Structure 1
Amino acid sequence: MLTQRGNRFWTYEESLRFLGVELGRIMSVMKLSSGGLFVQSPAELTPELKTALEELGEVRFVAPASKLHGHLYMEQYRAAYPDATLLAAPGLPARRPDLRFDHVLGDTPDPRWGTDIDQVVVAGHRWLTELAFFHRPSRTLILGDVGFHVGDDSPLKTRLVARALRIRNRLGPPIELRLTIQNEATFRRSIRDVLAWEFDRVVPGHGEIIDSGGQQALLEGYDWLLE
């Protein structure tokens, strides 16, 4: 159900099909020094998942990656955990007027989770502003749509599409996102801020987790931007 991958860090993977292609999506769960749970890109809150989460601790914070990624089931967490803080990425409150958000995320982590988790706003794209997170205790970088990683274990159709989108065995965004960057200098600065973290593992928004060597994988995946 939940896979422990590092110190106070777990992931949960579920199916996600887009235009007939299996992309998958990954939820990250971090146990804070204070004892509560920080849930990023929440998955569908099935009874089994709810039980698994409650065995780890109390869900206190629920965060998406962007206004497009990781918000689909946030209403389930609001209903199940009314005392939890629902966090929004830039632009998400307008996209989800059905939800009451407690805080809009920026570059500065809140002291309530800042001891364990850092964050950077990845800006400069035409329509996508995303939050990248760094979980210090497990040295894990958590991405959304700026970090696809389709490897050899993905379905054949997914691998073929990934090759066309230039994300086959590469950690980075699909080609259409690359071609629609509005401010390349800002986007580059955001990625360099992410690379300043001392991470080893990378949890991509879609695809396969990189359990070690993540720093080099991100450098290689963004060589078109950083060279």
Structure 2
Amino acid sequence: MLSQFGPEIWLADGPSIKAAAGFHYPTRMVVIRLHGRDLLVWSPIALTDALCRDIETLGTVRYLIAPNTLHHMNMPDWIDAFPKASPFAAPGLQSKRADIAFAGELTETPEPAWTKDIDHVIMTGNAITTEVVFFHRPSGTLLFTDLLQQLPKGWYSGWRALIARLDLMTEPEPAVPRKFRLAFRDKNALRRSVHKIKSWSPRAVVMAHGTPVTQNVPPFLDRAFAWVPTPK
């Protein structure tokens, strides 16, 4: 179930998950091995015995990351399975999931435990969700949760397919869905975040819902965020 994507980084795809109005989404998580064989699990998918065994061959799960305020449904199962791991929440999630004993909330400063391997930027000012975009330095990989998506052709049918197309969820390449574009209230903060993302010079992009991008990443990011208004 785990597949190596690059140096010290693995992907695992899980079952689709249902959302509002009968929409469903494919799921993907990322496992990053830090120094000392500590593992960071980003956006955990549904936990199975086989997945648990695969992960334990890589190292010790130390950190569980809910990277936005929408990706949290599987966190309790992972916390139960790995009680020594520290779960971290995107800004705003702790109040939404008071039933989860998070170790802390992600801030603008990466945690010291993973700062040598991972940087991140908080995409603030969005009315739908606050998403934390991660960057894994050894592999040059960006991790997007919902702000970039590309669902497979034929994933939806009927009126849902029409809505997905209008929302830019089924574009030829991953794109920022229209609803998230409209939900950004603070355009200055958005520009700063996109600038930081591009400054990392990433070599790959992985999404929770979409096909990874592994070639010509800088021009891809230019296209993906071309809608962001420039300062007047």
Q: Does the pair score TM above 0.5?
A: yes
Q: Find 2:50's aligned residue among 48, 51, 54.
A: 48
Task: Assess if the C-alpha contact under 8 Å between 1:65 and 1:130 holds in 2.
Answer: yes
Q: What are structure 1's unaligned runs of at least 5 residues?
A: none
> In the alignment, what sits opposite 1:210?
213
Q: Higher RCO, 1 or 2 (CA under 8 Å, sep at least 6)?
A: 1
> In the alignment, what sits opposite 2:31?
29
**SS at 1:16's partner residue?**
strand
The alpha carbon displacement at 1:96 in A equals 0.8
**CA 1:223 to 1:73, structure 2 compared with 1: closer, same or farther past 3 Å?**
same
Task: Assess if the C-alpha contact under 8 Å between 2:174 and 2:210 holds in 1.
Answer: no
**CA 1:161 to 1:200, structure 2 compared with 1: closer, same or farther past 3 Å?**
farther
Q: How many residue pairs were aligned?
A: 225
Task: Assess if the C-alpha contact under 8 Å between 1:166 and 1:174 holds in 2.
Answer: yes
Task: Assess if the C-alpha contact under 8 Å between 1:151 and 1:159 holds in 2.
Answer: no
1:57 lines up with 2:68 in the alignment? no
Q: Residue type matched to 2:172 in 1?
A: N
**SS at 1:149's partner residue?**
coil
Q: Residue type matched to 2:5 in 1?
A: R
Task: Assess if the C-alpha contact under 8 Å between 1:9 and 1:29 holds in 2.
Answer: yes
The alpha carbon displacement at 1:90 in A equals 0.5
**SS at 1:207's partner residue?**
coil
Task: Assess if the C-alpha contact under 8 Å between 2:174 and 2:211 holds in 1.
Answer: no
> In the alignment, what sits opposite 1:2?
2
> In the alignment, what sits opposite 1:123?
124
1:95-106 matched pairs, under 5 angstroms? 95-106=96-107
1:132 lines up with 2:133 in the alignment? yes
Task: Assess if the C-alpha contact under 8 Å between 1:119 and 1:134 holds in 2.
Answer: yes
Q: Residue type matched to 2:168 in 1?
A: R
Q: Residue type matched to 2:36 in 1?
A: S
1:73-112 matched pairs, under 5 angstroms? 73-112=74-113
1:193 lines up with 2:196 in the alignment? yes
The alpha carbon displacement at 1:169 in A equals 2.3
Task: Assess if the C-alpha contact under 8 Å between 1:17 and 1:23 holds in 2.
Answer: yes
1:225 lines up with 2:225 in the alignment? no
> In the alignment, what sits opposite 1:66?
68
Note the aligned Cα RMSD (angstroms).
1.9
> In the alignment, what sits opposite 2:167?
165
**SS at 2:29's partner residue?**
strand
Task: Assess if the C-alpha contact under 8 Å between 2:120 and 2:134 holds in 1.
Answer: yes
TM-score by length of 2: 0.90
Identity %: 33
The alpha carbon displacement at 1:151 in A equals 5.3
Q: What are structure 2's unaligned runs of at least 5 residues?
A: none
Q: Residue type matched to 2:54 in 1?
A: A
> In the alignment, what sits opposite 2:177?
174
Task: Assess if the C-alpha contact under 8 Å between 2:150 and 2:209 holds in 1.
Answer: yes
Between stretches 58-67 and 173-182, larger displacement belongs to 173-182
Task: Assess if the C-alpha contact under 8 Å between 1:124 and 1:185 holds in 2.
Answer: no
**SS at 2:114's partner residue?**
helix
Q: Residue type matched to 1:102 in 2?
A: A
Q: Residue type matched to 2:93 in 1?
A: L
* CA distance in 2: counterparts of 1:72 and 1:156, whole angstroms: 22
> In the alignment, what sits opposite 1:113?
114
**SS at 1:24's partner residue?**
strand
Deviation per CA, 1:52-72, whole angstroms, max 9, x where unpaired? Answer: 110111100000111112x11
* CA distance in 1: counterparts of 2:78 and 2:225, whole angstroms: 34
